[in-house]
Structure 1
């Protein structure tokens, strides 16, 4: 029996290549995924996902924002954001208002229910998420991690 693999080129998966080329990016991505899973767990009693919560919080910070501005803040596809906004309107958490500066555009703002949900979410998550994410780090390591991550950001 001949060895068919002798001299064969091993093709690496895209994931393997990404991990070799950008290992730090992969680690940051994995930490972000863990944070979102934890956030989903914390928010599940409120029947809201981490993604929906981030959208509501971004709107809350801006008070009134256009979909294009929100897209930039969240770094998401405008089509996906529009579908998300449609769901949030149906749940009664946000509303679209005509943009007085652009007759073709709209402004997004929280409803009273959306603002209340945002507050409930913040109280529910509190410091628990931060503590859960950093439970295996010392206080000095947390401070160093925060310092280094801030250096990466512009």
Structure 2
């Protein structure tokens, strides 16, 4: 993680902020803060403060929950989507290099199989 964080790809966004942008980019609809908290490795208070900062920077917007007017849902703004895609493309290249270089082709195929299995299990566990 330190190696990834040290790479000059983040455009003034921290890895943890990018993690929030990435999580929101993968969800089909806006999330409540508690739902978003299931996707990131942050405490709820830290995530709440981070979301406030990302809203101030225009990367996330808050909307009233149509089913519960007291609740708020979070989604990426257009700038947030563009930022996530720009950083994400560069980060994906870094991750691919970090994984592919030390692994053989057979190990890469096994890793892909295992990742698909885990992703499939996550989809079954997610309501």
The TM-score with structure 2 as length reference comes to 0.77
1:120 matches 2:86: yes
Partner Cα separation in structure 2 for residue 50 and residue 57 of structure 1: 10
Q: Point out 4+ residue stretches in structure 1 off by more than 4 angstroms.
A: 148-153
1:105 matches 2:71: yes
**What are the within-5 Å matches in structure 2 for residues 1-150 of structure 1?**
36-42=1-7, 44-62=9-27, 63-74=29-40, 76-148=42-114
Give the alignment's Cα RMSD to 1 decimal: 2.3
Partner Cα separation in structure 2 for residue 68 and residue 142 of structure 1: 35
Q: State the 1:107 CA deviation.
A: 0.6
| Structure with larger RCO (C-alpha < 8 A, sep 6+) | 2
Q: Which runs of 5+ in 2 are unaligned?
A: 122-127
Q: State the 1:122 CA deviation.
A: 2.0
Q: Deviations for 1:1-40, whole angstroms, at most 9, x for unmatched residues?
A: xxxxxxxxxxxxxxxxxxxxxxxxxxxxxxxxxxx33432
Q: Which has the larger radius of gyration?
A: 1
The TM-score with structure 1 as length reference comes to 0.65
